[in-house]
Structure 1
Amino acid sequence: MLHQVLSNAIYKSVEHRVIVNSKKERLSLAFFYNPGGDKLIKPAHQLVTKDCPALYSPMTFNEYRSFIRTKGLTGKCQIESLKSPR
């Protein structure tokens, strides 16, 4: 969901699910990226315009992580609650 903040919600997360195939093996790989805790997380300035204002308030990665841990994994609702009030 961090990519959604960085992209000012231009790039959305896709919801997906897996259907198990008993005849074919499946391999899943997870990739994580974590900037330093003191790094500021905010929409990229190139993606913020008069017509498309910043949807998310700046926060450090530690604040973002704390928010995620406090609120839990709640899908799309979680990212919506990060949005700045207009």
Structure 2
Amino acid sequence: VISNGIFKSVEHRVVANSGRERISAAFFCNPKTDVPIGPAPDLVSNERPARYVSMTFDEYRLFIRQVGPRGKCQVESLKKRPTLDKVDGP
């Protein structure tokens, strides 16, 4: 979202070895709830308009709770639509 679609992420996949123990560690970094999240202004122009809806982190968390986790589809649902400025939801 921040890169306005310029940088692509990859799917994370783990192939576990059933004969060995595996340990995973998760790290989360959450901004303040009222911080707006959207395409970086330097990456938006007339030639490359914003592709994603801006929202606060609280709005994003509510959105995730409403639609549930959907992997890469989650980012796709944040894309702007030609006539709508809202995200896809239930």
TM-score range, shorter chain: 0.7 to 0.9
Structure 2, unpaired ranges of 5+: 83-90
TM-score (norm 2): 0.77
Classify the secondary structure of the residue corresponding to 1:65. helix
CA distance in 1, matches of 2:6, 2:26: 22
| Cα deviation code 1:45-73 (max 9, x no counterpart) | 11112222111121111001110111101
Output the aligned Cα RMSD.
1.7
Classify the secondary structure of the residue corresponding to 1:78. helix
CA distance in 2, matches of 1:67, 1:13: 21
Deviation, structure 1 residue 82: 0.9
Deviation, structure 1 residue 25: 4.5
TM-score (norm 1): 0.80
Question: 2:34 aligned with 1:38, yes or no?
Answer: yes
CA distance in 1, matches of 2:27, 2:3: 18
CA distance in 2, matches of 1:47, 1:70: 29
Among 40, 46, 49, the alignment partner of 1:50 is 46
CA distance in 2, matches of 1:10, 1:30: 26
- CA, structure 1 residues 79+52, in 2 after alignment: closer, same or farther (shift >3 Å)? same
Question: 2:64 aligned with 1:74, yes or no?
Answer: no
Amino acid at match of 1:28: S
Q: Percent identity of the aligned residues?
A: 59
Among 42, 55, 60, the alignment partner of 1:59 is 55
Instruction: Between 22-31 and 9-18, report the one with greater CA deviation.
Output: 22-31
